Structure formats: C-alpha cells, structure tokens
C-alpha cells in the first residue's frame, strides 16, 4: 500500500500562491492602524493559516493514510496547546506581582 499518493503539482502551486498572498496581506495589515488587539489577532491569525497550509499540504499530514501518523503529527501541537492554555490560565488570572504595572506601561531606567 502506497503511504502517500502522488499529489498533483497544481495543488502545491496553489498552496504556495496562497502562502505568498497571505504573507503580502500580513505585511500590508501591519501598516493599517486597527488598534493593538485587532492588529495582533489578524497577524497571528494569518500566521496560523499559513502554518496550517504548510502542515496539511506541504508536510502531507492531510494525505497520510495511516491515522496513527496523523495522531503523532497532531500530538506535538496538542502539547503546545496544553502548555499555552494551562500557563495562560495561571498568568491571566493571578494578581499582578508588584514589579509589573497592571496595564504594562514601560519601565525606564532611572540613570
């Protein structure tokens, strides 16, 4: 049984074009003033879409016929998700320690 079928070049070209368009969009959006939260969400969101395109099509995770390989491929991402959610559930809910200003204003050196 062939593990990975031969994927048409057209698919790769389309994914590559999509990746480049997303890169241009991301770069352009960085110049548009949208406020911190929207801007950050769009930038990281576009990064996540690019990540998925590479992960699914270039790394062939979409095309593996064996579910166990897909499970292994997703395991790493699952652990990062776990790390992120559990860490942030701590940091976002605890009181700010004295050295950090609640709104994150910069601290300047006195000298």
Partner 1 sequence: MDPRSTDNLHLHEQFETLQQQEYAATLGMWAFMATEFLLIGVLFVAYGVCRMRWPEAFRRGSSEMHYWLGFFETAIILTTSFLVTLALRAAKLGNNRQVIALFATTVMLGAGFLTIKGTEWYLEYGEGLVPGYFTTIPTKEAHLPPDQQHPRPVQERLFMLFYYLLTGTHAVHMLIGMGLLSTMMFLTARGKFSASYHTPIELVGIYWHFVDLVWIFVFSSVYLLRQ
Q: What share of the chain is helix, strand, coil (3-state, %, to 5)?
A: 65, 0, 35
> How many other C-beta atoms lie within 10 A of the C-beta of residue 60?
16
Stated length of the chain? 111
User: What residues numbered 4-23 form the site for partner 1, per CB under 8 A?
Assistant: 4, 6-7, 9, 12, 15-16, 19-20, 23
If one asks whether residue 47 binds partner 1 (CB under 8 A), the answer comes out as yes
- Nearest distance in Å: CB 46, partner 1: 6
- Nearest distance in Å: CB 35, partner 1: 7
Alpha-carbon span 81 to 78, nearest angstrom: 5
Alpha-carbon span 42 to 22, nearest angstrom: 11
Query: Which H helix or E strand runs over 30?
Result: none
- Nearest distance in Å: CB 111, partner 1: 9
Binding site for partner 1 (CB under 8 A): 1-4, 6-7, 9, 12, 15-16, 19-20, 23, 26-27, 29-30, 33-36, 39-40, 43-44, 46-47, 50-51, 54-55, 57-59, 64, 66, 68-69, 72-73, 75-77, 79-80, 83-84, 87-88, 91-92, 100, 104-109
């Amino acid at each position: 049984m062939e593990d990975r079928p031969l994927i048409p070049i057209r698919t790769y070209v389309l994914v590559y074009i999509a990746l480049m368009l997303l890169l241009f969009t991301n770069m352009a959006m960085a110049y548009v003033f949208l406020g911190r939260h929207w801007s950050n969400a769009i930038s990281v969101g576009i990064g996540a879409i690019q990540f998925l395109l590479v992960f699914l099509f270039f790394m062939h995770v979409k095309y593996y016929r064996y579910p166990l390989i897909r499970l292994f491929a997703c395991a790493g991402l699952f652990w990062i998700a776990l790390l992120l959610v559990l860490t942030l559930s701590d940091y976002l809910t605890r009181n700010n320690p004295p050295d950090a200003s609640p709104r994150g204003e910069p601290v300047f050196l006195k000298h």
